[in-house]
A and B are shown apart, each in its own frame.
Chain A
């Protein structure tokens, strides 16, 4: 079994995001970038499956600017065997990403494609489902547990009502929830080893996909601020305010 894992480079989740003064986007200069958190879960799961002997190769792929190579390199440092970087500048919407990934799937012929359920920058939650539509493969989104049984996967999905279990045949797409596993840290020797692992670079334009945005971003603004509240001195005052001022109890 071969597993392809898609990873995205995003602003680190601990960074307080700031909107640019000209309202064209958010500040990304001199801001710490990291792997999209649920993509770390996707890599971890693929590596665990390989370690259990059920997969033979884990390939990490990213779409983005030259620096996205760091994100691929990090996947190699936690156990992926080799990497692919599809180079593209500017905003690449999930539809275009899924078309680019489709080209890689056709070339690499993986049995499984893993990725995070959602990127924490654009919060779209689309790429995995779009890729499975383009390939006409089954999709297991928001996975919190994966069991491999021969050529089938039993996947537990996090849904609003609780948990849902589905069985899908490979080849298939799985999008990973944060609760799927606990991603490991890369050890120093493995970071050194990862530097020797190959990363193939492909230009998005060479894959014959039109990646120009279909959605025009008109402006990006700060969300409306809440008015500053007050501190109460005692529980009795709190209850009195909630009852007589806010009238919510």
Chain B
């Protein structure tokens, strides 16, 4: 039996994490089909067909799929699922919203947010915000799996030419209506995929002082993150929050400034490749995960840091 991957897209393009989900799905079974549900999404469907790991694309089109409402999506996938052993999707807000609705309809106990495929039925997943790793085996005949995208590499994105089949849309679910989406626009790299993330915590003391974080981020072409404490204090909007209740990030370089390192924050960044901490409290837990710790007053150290970065002329863009 084959794997059915649910593509995430915006009707024009695939969302980048779809490529990571394809990698994960292909490790469960190489006979991998991908479904794309949307409205006027032929361009995105074509891109999906070009992923060499995808053997077949199923495209489902209808006006009521334009805004990715889970109540509309689930019935189509449930119907097609009879031909598949696994249904797979990314564990971002799209997949988290959708997959349990599919799993319950299939009477399957979903395995959420896996970070490793051990075999076709056995997976590794973090629990307690990453404070423990559980190895779990699904005994259901059909598996519904969501994957943590940052734990899998993106697949090859060109060179394939899978056939694109059309499937019948299901009826519209009338009790849920999409109203609007307010996307946060920014010239910066997206927090979830940035190579460098610079984050500020409660130690910043005010929203105004976050300008220091912005300056460092400008130098390094970085995304801006924040701890929950900084968000709760109103220094910065919540879409910047890194942690158990915010975003999980895995950049090459994570710079934590004025962040003490609460369990909840560490859960969102401790898999980063290189971690830098700047904090005046030498006992702060953030230093236990930092590769390079600088015990200093951030209001002195950060301007110096910016100056030092200015001196370097080999900054990668």
Q: Which residues of A contact B (CB under 8 A)?
A: 11, 13-14, 16-17, 19, 26, 93-96, 98, 120-134, 137-139, 141-142, 154, 157-169, 172, 178-179, 213-223, 226, 228-232, 234-236, 238-239, 241-243, 246, 248-249
Contact = CB atoms under 8 A, between A and B. Distances in A.
Contacts of A154: 179
A223 B102 CA distance: 30
Interface of B: 69-71, 74, 91-94, 96-105, 107-113, 122, 125-140, 173-184, 192, 196, 220, 238-239, 244-245, 247, 252-253, 263-264, 270, 273-276, 282, 287-296, 301, 304-305, 308-309, 312, 314-316
B306 to A, nearest CB: 9
A17 B109 contact: no
A213 B110 CA distance: 11
Contacts of A130: 100-101, 103-104
A249 B315 contact: yes
Nearest to A167: B177
Given A126-B103, A166-B178, A246-B274, A220 B134 contact: yes
Given A130-B100, A249-B316, A236 B308 contact: yes
A196 to B, nearest CB: 35
Nearest to B137: A216
27 contacts: A123-B126, A124-B110, A126-B100, A138-B175, A160-B247, A161-B181, A162-B182, A162-B184, A164-B180, A165-B180, A166-B177, A167-B179, A169-B175, A213-B109, A215-B136, A220-B135, A221-B132, A222-B133, A223-B133, A226-B270, A229-B289, A230-B291, A232-B292, A238-B308, A246-B292, A248-B196, A249-B309
Nearest to B307: A235
B276 A165 contact: no
A142 B109 contact: no
A248 B273 contact: yes
A195 to B, nearest CB: 31
B182 A13 contact: no
Nearest to B17: A160
A41 to B, nearest CB: 11
B210 to A, nearest CB: 19
Contact of A214 (B101, B109, B275): B109
B291 A158 contact: no
Nearest to A134: B104
Contacts of B304: 235-236
Contacts of B270: 226
Contacts of B97: 129, 139, 141-142
Contacts, number: 245
Contacts of B276: 238, 242
Which secondary structure dominates chain B's binding surface? mixed
A13 to B, nearest CB: 7
A96 B104 CA distance: 10
B93 A158 contact: yes
Contacts of A226: 270, 275, 288-289, 291
A33 B305 CA distance: 43
B179 A165 contact: yes
A19 B132 contact: yes
B127 A220 contact: yes
A243 B312 contact: yes
Q: Which of A96, A124, A132, A169 has the most CB of B within 10 A?
A: A124
A243 to B, nearest CB: 7
B175 A95 contact: no
Contact of A125 (B100, B126, B180, B183): B100
B292 A229 contact: yes
A123 B113 contact: yes
Contact of A129 (B100, B252, B296): B100
